[in-house]
């Protein structure tokens, strides 16, 4: 025990060296050992919660710390042969989980008077994970990515036809014509029926499914009958007493998730504040021709590598948010009428310069939703605001209609200092709202003019998509 604490002290004091695989393994092992001790401590704190609100935030932290231990185990599982990109992605997610744990106490207004929160974070786990991120950075930067990341299965390469050629494993039909009437029932059966690494296909027929769904199994594919036809809807919200992490109508954590032709909806309304329609922390998850409908915090791209193609996203405040590496291509982004008189399309949550994360909007269209068009002159709409110090968001070759405020971006709160460490970029956008002449004068705002710089934010380079997206059979553009 004394030796392990000595090693921990050395790792905290000495800056990490980069590129040494043995040093990286040692860093990961110490982080894992510490994470397991922290998790045990978190489990022991349940009886110290003062009320149900504080307990709800603590329950989130249990789940998130379990996930951190799983992630660190993955990075050390060399039978899976993780690439440097995999390791950097997963370590980014581990740090995001710590922030999400904290955020639950903030959501429920328990951060300033919590017995539990100070005890959960009275440790150096975030520092240790950050050291491992720095340790692996050189490997990540130099990796040629000559092999697929682990999200790609050999089974994917056998799918020669598009979705219409995929025979579903389970059919869900609200009218009773299928074996299952709810998505939740089908998922419970999928967990017991799926074999090997093959994608498990669940066809959800047209209908309105009022349920909250949690997808933890890997390589699940949900196929619906189209936007506005197959609808999964719920109404959990922070205003209703939930943490943001527990508001999603659909939450996905199992890796390799795909969805096509489904509407994900949260009907809590703008008066109930944060209310997520879909939350994804699924690595190598992809969404095609789906709709995400809500107001504040509609779509949570929480963590890992994600891709969205030809999707519709509706909302008001921070309605695309999180700390994933997420690319949106050919999507429609609709701002709605906000009671606060301010709309922000994005709120990206990067906390460490070595995290691989950011929100990339490419070849999309930003316009007013039909309920907002009559009021858009009375509401200011911005491209985003910095949720965390290293917030990173880029709009590329996207149509920005005249609802976008000339400043483009806003501080997290009015009058608040903006961190110099953020990165906001715009590249070859079009439309009446695309002029950068009167944009903010922040050091972290960039009008990108270099093709090479813009290429860093493409599917190929930002989410390794040219390796794993072909297996999903979802169309995509690897470059600009």
**Active site positions, annotated:** 297, 318
Q: In what order do the strands lie in the sheet with 445-447?
A: 170-172, 200-204, 220-223, 258-260, 285-288, 305-309, 325-329, 358-362, 392-396, 423-427, 445-447
Give the span between the Cα atoms of 427 and 435, in whole angstroms.
Answer: 11
Residue that has been written with the tokens 């949550």 in this structure: 349
Backbone torsions φ then ψ of 285, nearest 5 degrees:
-95, 150
Residue that has been written with the tokens 């994804």 in this structure: 280
Q: Which residues contact 291 (CB under 8 A, 6 or more apart)?
A: 227, 228, 262, 263, 264, 265, 311, 312, 313, 314
Q: Which residues contact 48 (CB under 8 A, 6 or more apart)?
A: 115, 116, 119
Detail the DSSP E strand segments found in 336-473: 342-348, 358-362, 365-368, 380-384, 392-396, 399-400, 423-427, 445-447
Residue that has been written with the tokens 């950097």 in this structure: 88
Question: Is 404 within 8 Å of 380 (Cβ atoms)?
Answer: no
């Amino acid at each position: 025990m004394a030796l392990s604490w000595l090693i921990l002290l050395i790792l905290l004091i000495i800056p990490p060296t980069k590129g040494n695989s043995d040093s990286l393994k040692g860093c990961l092992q110490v982080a894992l050992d510490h994470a397991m001790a922290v998790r045990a401590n978190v489990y022991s704190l349940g009886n110290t919660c003062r009320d149900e609100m504080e307990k709800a935030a603590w329950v989130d932290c249990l789940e998130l710390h379990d996930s951190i231990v799983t992630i660190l185990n993955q990075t050390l599982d060399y039978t899976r042969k993780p690439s440097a990109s995999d390791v950097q992605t997963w370590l980014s997610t581990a740090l995001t989980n710590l922030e999400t744990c904290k955020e639950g106490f903030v959501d429920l207004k328990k951060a300033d008077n919590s017995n539990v929160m100070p005890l959960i974070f009275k440790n150096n786990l975030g520092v240790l994970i950050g050291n491992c991120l720095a340790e692996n950075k050189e490997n990540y930067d130099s990796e040629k990515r000559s092999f697929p990341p682990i999200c790609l299965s050999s089974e994917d390469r056998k799918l020669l036809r598009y979705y219409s050629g995929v025979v579903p494993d389970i059919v869900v039909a609200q009218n009773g014509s299928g074996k299952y009437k709810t998505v939740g029932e089908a998922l419970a059966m999928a967990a017991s029926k799926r074999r090997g690494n093959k994608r498990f296909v669940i066809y959800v027929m047209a209908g309105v499914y009022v349920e909250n769904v949690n997808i933890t199994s890997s390589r699940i594919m949900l196929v619906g009958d189209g936007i506005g036809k197959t609808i999964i809807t719920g109404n959990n919200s922070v205003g209703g007493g939930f943490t943001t992490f527990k508001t999603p109508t659909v939450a996905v954590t199992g890796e390799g998730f795909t969805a096509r032709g489904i509407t994900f909806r949260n009907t809590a309304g703008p008066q109930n504040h944060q209310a997520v329609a879909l939350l994804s922390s699924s690595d190598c998850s992809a969404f095609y021709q789906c709709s995400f409908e809500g107001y504040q915090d509609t779509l949570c791209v929480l963590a890992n590598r994600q891709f969205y193609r030809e999707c519709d996203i509706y909302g008001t405040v921070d309605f695309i948010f999180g700390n994933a590496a997420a690319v949106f291509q050919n999507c429609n982004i609709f701002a709605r009428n906000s009671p606060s008189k301010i709309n922000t399309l994005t709120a990206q949550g990067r906390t460490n310069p070595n995290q691989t994360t950011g929100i990339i909007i490419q070849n999309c269209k930003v316009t007013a939703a039909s309920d907002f068009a009559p009021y858009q002159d009375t509401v200011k709409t911005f491209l985003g605001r910095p949720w965390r110090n290293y917030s990173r968001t880029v709009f590329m070759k996207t149509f920005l209609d005249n609802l976008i405020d000339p400043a483009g971006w806003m501080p997290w709160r009015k009058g608040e200092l903006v961190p110099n460490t953020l990165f906001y970029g715009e590249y070859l956008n079009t439309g009446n709202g695309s002029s950068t002449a009167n944009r903010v004068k922040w050091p972290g705002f960039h009008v990108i003019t270099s093709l090479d710089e813009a290429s860093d934010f493409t599917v190929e380079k930002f989410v390794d998509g040219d390796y794993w997206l072909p297996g999903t059979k979802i169309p995509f553009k690897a470059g600009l």
